[in-house]
Amino acid sequence: MAAQAIRLFRKMDGLFAVYKPQGVHWKHVRDSIESNLLKALNSCPPPAPQHAVQFQLLSSGENSSSSKDLALSPTMVPTLADHPLVTGPQFHKVHVGVGHRLDAFSSGVLVLGVGKGNGVLEHLCKSHVTRDYTLEGEFGKATDNFTDTGRVIEKTTYDHVTQDKLERVLAMIQGANQKALITYSQVDLRTQEAYELAVRGLLYPHGKSPPILTGLRCIHFNPPHFSLEVQCVNETQKYLRKLIHEVGLELRTCAVCSGVRRTRDGPFKVENALTRQHWTADSIIQAIAHFHKTTRRIRKSGMYRQTAGQMNSSAEVQEQIRSQTGQSEQINQDEFSSSTSDTVVDRETPVTMSEGRTKHR
């Protein structure tokens, strides 16, 4: 029935995560999920057809006195105005939003939103949540796009590279990014608030900032292959592939990236991501119900952040108005004092002239 399709459509409201395979564009993932949701909605049984009264003309019989005698018989016939072959499918579009995107070379967690979840996706993208990646690298060559499938432009040796040297380079890179994080967090390091935020790991950049690594370590080392685990903010997959190239340069060799895999996007982990065979309406609805509390928490934090921003902007406007009012009052006082002094001088001048006349006399 139509009510069944409507109930199913109302359940498609929230956030969920899917696992995007490597070599597949994120638009293809979105279009596939939209198509699967539309098929599920339009496969519900159509509503029962409505009936209308129709009068049928019957013959009056052979013994009728006049050929003008007519007999009408009322009958109930189904109307075809609401038939699916006439109206077409009941649902034509289901909008699926995409969060932090992944390029075709990368794989991993991709957060999507349906219904009101599209608005929550905006709060998630504006929030400074950290994302985890696993980077696969290979020493010994360099390409034009920092990947192992690009055009090779240089080959070098890597026998001198050890795990200790690699970890020292990673520690140096992480230290430089920690300084950048403190700089863009706009927090006074001499305050107790800055100390508590740093201890709990809650420092994050305010406003626009370059990509910042909050964590970097080696989890596998078997030359020429190695793997890195990265936690970062405001990153792009191209930046992560270039990071592998820069690590190779610091080690006096070359390196290319053979894989970028996102394992976490804020509260969404790879364990809860739907694989390709589970991109069905039933699995998506279950995933939306699983992340219902997470979606509500993101929505509340986004609304709080928006309200706080409006309060800060209104406070700044009020402060500007107060400063302008104070400046205008100061200008009025200066003008009043200057006009008063001029009046005093004008009053004193005739007295002095009269005194001069008296002395002259």
pTM confidence score: 0.75
Q: Which pLDDT does position 324 carry in this prediction?
A: 55
pLDDT given at position 11: 92
3-class secondary structure, 269: strand
Q: Which of 38-42, 86-90, 140-144 has the lowest mean pLDDT?
A: 86-90
Summarised one tens digit per residue, pLDDT across range 161-193 is 999 999 999 999 999 998 888 888 877 777 887
Q: For residue 225, what are the contacts with CB-CB under 8 A and spacing of at least 6?
A: 136, 137, 138, 139, 258
Class of domain 130-265: alpha beta
Q: Chain-wide mean pLDDT for the chain?
A: 82
- Domain parsing of the chain, residue ranges: 130-265
Nearest CA to 37 out of 55, 56, 65, 18 is that of 18
Catalytic residue among 31, 69, 82, 103: 103
Q: Which two tokens stand for residue 173?
A: 């890179």
User: Which 3 state secondary structure label does DSSP give 235?
Assistant: coil
Q: Summarize pLDDT for 222-246 with one digit per residue, the tens.
A: 999 999 999 999 999 999 999 999 9
The string of pLDDT tens digits covering residues 337-348 is 555 444 433 444
Is 144 marked active-site? no
3-state secondary structure 175-213: HHHHHHHHHHHCCCCCCHHHHHHHHHCCCCCCCCCCCEE
Query: What is the pLDDT confidence band of residue 315, given thresholds at 50, 70 and 90?
Result: very low
Mean local confidence (pLDDT), 11-28: 95
pLDDT at position 360 is 40
